[in-house]
Chain A
Amino acid sequence: DIVMTQSPDSLAVSLGERATINCKSSQSVLNSSNNKNYLAWYQQKPGQPPKLLIYWASTRESGVPDRFSGSGSGTDFTLTISSLQAEDVAVYFCQQYYTPPPTFGGGTKVEVK
């Protein structure tokens, strides 16, 4: 199974500042035949189920604010919140869908400083 490792475990960011979350896969999730990275990001607010934010490493799901962006390729990926809002307090998870079974990172908790 592909192991997904996120860092940091938690971070505190001031409102309006940038938050950056990292995700590393134990093997590449880049498909060389279509040049796509099979990597998704989810947001989970307290007491709620996860919500899909981004797939193909950088494609925002419909309705997701553009302050959320994804980048990276191969084994190293980043989720950036460009200007943290109070409603962004949550745990964020990455997930690979390159090969079964789908596997998730351990999560990064984002709080307001």
Chain B
Amino acid sequence: QVQLVQSGSEVKKPGASVKVSCKASGYTFTSFGISWVRQAPGQGLEWMGWISAHNGNTKSTQDLLGRVTMTTDTSTSTAYMELRGLRSNDTAVYYCARGRIVGGSTPIFDHWGQGTLVTVTS
């Protein structure tokens, strides 16, 4: 069965960086993209960006341009998301999600990691 297993919780100081991993299993990793979606405490879902596991192409939101880097390691079927210059309002649960293209170029998200809580505090 498809599984996405993420790395554990992190506590960071403002200005620091965090790197979250997402290990995929149960499907051909390079056949799907991976999106990163975050959820601030008690809030809704915010799509951060996407990486093609096939060719490494990425796209991220304008708000995060320059602060976020998404990569993959196809040898271990693992996706990574690094966020730099952390601020208190980056405190959130960060999810990886497998993107399924059913039409057009924008995915739906059919499998999700368990989430990684990143807390930014001084």
Contact = CB atoms under 8 A, between A and B. Distances in A.
Contacts of B16: none
Task: Give the residue among B59, B103, B107 with the most A Cβ atoms within 10 A.
Answer: B103
Interface of A: 31, 34, 36, 38, 40, 42, 49-52, 55-56, 61, 93, 95-107
Contact of B44 (A36, A56, A93, A97): A93
Contacts of A104: 44-47
Interface string B23-63: 00000000000010000000011110000000000010100
B103 A40 contact: no
A61 B111 CA distance: 11
Interface string B78-115: 00000000000000000101000011111111101111
B110 A102 contact: no
B103 A34 contact: yes
Secondary structure of the B contact surface, majority rule: loop
Contacts, number: 68
A52 B114 contact: no
Contacts of A36: 103
A49 B107 contact: no
B112 A50 contact: yes
A50 B102 contact: no
Contacts of B95: 49-50
B78 to A, nearest CB: 18
Closest 3 CB pairs of A and B: A49-B112, A97-B106, A104-B45
